[in-house]
Amino acid sequence: MDDYRQQELLDRIDEKTAELPWYVGEYVDKKRRTMSPRSLLNYCHDYLIFFNWLLTEGFYNGKRQDVPLSCLEKLTPQQIENFLSYLHFRLNNDRFTINRKLSSLKSLFNYLQNVAETSDLKPYLVRNVMAKIAFNKIKEDQETVAQKMAGKILWNDEYDAFRQFVAEDYCETVKDNKKLLNFHQQNAERDTAIISLILGSGLRLSEVVGLDLSDVDLKKRMVRVLRKGNKEQYVYFSEQAGLDLADYLDVRAKKYQLPPSNKALFVAASMGPHRTTRRLSPRAIENLVKKYAVAFGKPALSVHKLRHSFATRYQAENNDIPKLRRQLGHSSIQTTMIYTHLSNEELKKAVDHMDDHFVAPDGN
């Protein structure tokens, strides 16, 4: 991520913290040293949702920025449970998303109780209601998680077939719709490069979005990414991904009418009266993957499932969990271990082999 992109995220964080109480801004400033700007921006979004809810429910009559610490200290566990229900039933957040939002709130409240101090050395909060709230129980054994995932990823010949579909075959499905056909022809190299890069490297959505031209080394087939925890890492990509990236880079500036100052790797078509171009957003990449997935006949495919597809293929062909862990940027090897459960052909053969020894009761 270049300095411009980093500064852009930091500016957005400043915009969000200006809309939040002073003590939230203080906490965010403390976390800048240890958290990536993208993760910190997600925290800010979570806090905006929480404080908006406080005002809507009447816990404080005033501006969001003026919510006092005393308001947080008086919250009950049941009221927080009501907030979690609001996330689930009103905002349609799944259990994983709710746990993430709860985690960001727990971190803030812990800071206010156990880290921050007033001028007379007293904690900002004496009572921390978030310490009494449990996360949603969503843990499943790796075999169960793997089997749920298995039907939603690409297998065997589907890797190449899906890439081929994006590059060339999709246009056949929209040939009678001139608008869709023109749009695909405009973006075919870009979309193919995105799909091919994820399938050939296992990058996260945020990592793909944040890539700049200077982050790509076609000769070494590596990209520089900022991983979770604000750690910079060089990640390898496949030969096919390299070819597709090269094809895209050959047409990028001309097709998207880009000035030399635009350093984003993946960009959207120019829009507006000034014909300005912009970096592709996470939502835009999610939508383009969904569009191709539905047309391909695998509607459950997503950016994250493409990442899973890469990991499954890598593990099946290399059987090297430590290297896969590094490639994916997992902090825990247990997260990577799930891919050992996705393609257990020996177990399948053993079960099938049972039929060879089965003898019917009547001897036939």
Which residues does the annotation mark as catalytic?
Answer: 204, 228, 304, 307, 330, 339
In our burial notation (b when 16+ CB lie closer than 10 A, e otherwise), range 210-235 reads bbbeebbeeeebbbbbbbeebeeeeb
What six digits make up the tokens of 155? 């297998």
Report the C-alpha gap between 199 and 306 in whole angstroms: 6
| Of residues 19, 16, 17, the one with CA closest to residue 65 | 19
Task: Say how many C-beta atoms besides its own lie within 10 A of residue 153's C-beta.
Answer: 23
User: 94: helix, coil or strand?
Assistant: coil
Question: What are the C-alpha distances in Å from 29 to residues 168, 205, 250, 255, 306?
Answer: 48, 25, 41, 40, 35
DSSP 301: -
Report the C-alpha gap between 91 and 176 in whole angstroms: 37
Phi, psi of 189 (to 5 degrees): -65, -40
